[in-house]
Amino acid sequence: MRAARLIRMVLLLQSRPSMTAGELARELEVSERTVARDVLSLSEAGVPVYADRGRAGGYRLIGGYRTRLTGLARGEAEALFLSGVPSALREMGLADAASAARLKVSAALLPELRDAASGAAQRFHLDAPRWYHAPETPELLPVIADAVWDDRRLTVRYLRADRAVVRELEPYGLVLKAGVWYLAARAASERRDEPAPSAAGSGAAPGGDVSGDGHRTGFRVYRVDRFTAAAPLLPTEPSAPVAGGRGGAAVRSAAGAGRFVRDPEFDLPAFWAERAAQFERSLLREEAVVRLTPRGVRQLPYVTEPAAAREAVEHAMAGGGPDERGRLTVTLAVESEEVAYAQLLGLGPEGEVLAPSGLRERFATAARSAAALYSPAEEPAPEG
C-alpha cells in the first residue's frame, strides 16, 4: 500500500513543476504529516525530491529526474491499454499516434507484462454506436479534433433547424455519446445567417446551439455532423478557405490570434453531465397524474425516465404519502401524451392514470380491449 503511494507521489511530482504538501495530501488522500514522511523516504531511497520553504513553497523533483514504467503491475498495464477507444481514435485521425504510443509503452514494460495489450483487448471491447444504427464518421471530425488538441479557434458553418449560421468557436472538447459526436465550445461571434438547405441534419443535441446577436461567452454544445464547414484561424494567414462546403459557397476565416487561452475552470465531464441532464429534463414538457400500488412505485423507474420517476415519487411522499390502501398518487413529468401512453402501459394493473382525461380514456379503452381478449370463450349452448 505504502509502496504504491510512493510511486504515485513520484509520478505526480514528475507531471507538474511543483506541488504543495496540501495538494499532495489531497491527491494521495493522506495527511500532510504522512506526505512529509513519504518525501523523506523517497530522499533516502535516492529520489531527488527538493522542498522549497515559505508560503509559496512546495515539493519538486530536481535534475530532470524521470521514473521508468517498468514498475507497472499487470493490472495497471492492462488498464493503460484498455483506456483507449480504438474506433474513436480512428475517427479523430489519431489511430497511428495511438499505435505508436502503445508500442513505446510496450517496449518499456518488463517482458512478462508485454502481453497486457492483447490480453485486455481479448477480454473487453467497447462498441459505442447504438443498435441498428450504422456508425458514420462526420467528415469534419479530424479538422475539429486537431483544433481541440491545439486550442485553436475555428470558423465554422453550422446547420440549425431553420438556417445555417457562421461563427467563430473556441473548441474545448469532444464527446462521443451513443455513436454521435458532440463539440463543447465557446462561441466567440455569430457573423452571418444563411437559410438552411433542405438536407439539414436532424436530431437534437444536449443543450443545443442557441441563436442571438453579438458576442457569446457561454459554452454551447454542437453536433459535429451538423458542421458543413470548418477552418482553423491561423495567425500567419489573413484568410483561409474553410474545409467542407456542403450547402453553400466556401466560407473564409478571418484573421485573428489563432489560438485561445483555455478557461482553467472548465471541466468537460462535469459540463457534459450537467448539460445532458438539462437536455433530458427539457424533453419532459407535459405531466401525467398516476395512482400507483407499492409494486407500481418500484416499477415506475423502469418504464419511464428514471430521474423523473424518482422526483415524482419523492415529491408525493413528502406531500402526504400513500393513501389508506397503500397507493401513492404521483405527478409525473412526461415527454408527451403519446410517449406516456407507451411507457405507462408497462405498469399494467399496478398503475391507474388519473389525468389528463384524454390519456385516461386511452387507458380505459386499452383495458376494455385487453379484457375482451382474455375473457373466457363462451361455450355453445347444448342442443335439444
Mean pLDDT, consecutive 10-residue stretches, the chain (384 aa), reads: 77 82 88 90 85 78 69 58 63 68 64 66 72 79 90 92 87 89 82 47 46 52 93 65 46 57 90 86 88 96 91 93 94 92 94 95 94 77 62
CA distances to 189, 212, 364 from 165, in Å: 10, 11, 48
DSSP string, 59-81: EEE-TT----GGG--HHHHHHHH
141 alpha-carbon distance from chain centroid? 17
The pLDDT of residue 357: 94
The pLDDT of residue 188: 74
Q: What residues contact residue 180 under an 8 Å CB cut-off, 6+ apart? A: 203, 223, 225
Strand partners, 253: 240
Where residue 219 falls (left for φ over 0; alpha for ψ -120 to 50; beta otherwise) is beta
Considering Cα of 366, then 368, then 369, then 375, what sign does the dihedral take?
Answer: positive
The pLDDT of residue 147: 92
The pLDDT of residue 29: 87
The pLDDT of residue 304: 92
The pLDDT of residue 82: 54
Task: Tell whether pTM > 0.85.
Answer: no
Preceding peptide of 241 cis, ω within 30°: no
> Counting beta carbons within 10 angstroms of the beta carbon of residue 155, is it exposed (0 to 12), middle (13 to 18) or buried (19 or more)?
buried
Would you tell me how many other CB atoms lie within 10 Å of the CB of residue 178?
Answer: 8
Q: What is the Cα–Cα distance from 181 to 144, expressed in whole angstroms?
A: 11
Strand partners, 61: 49
The pLDDT of residue 28: 87
The pLDDT of residue 183: 95
Q: What is the Cα–Cα distance from 279 to 273, expressed in whole angstroms?
A: 10
The pLDDT of residue 352: 96
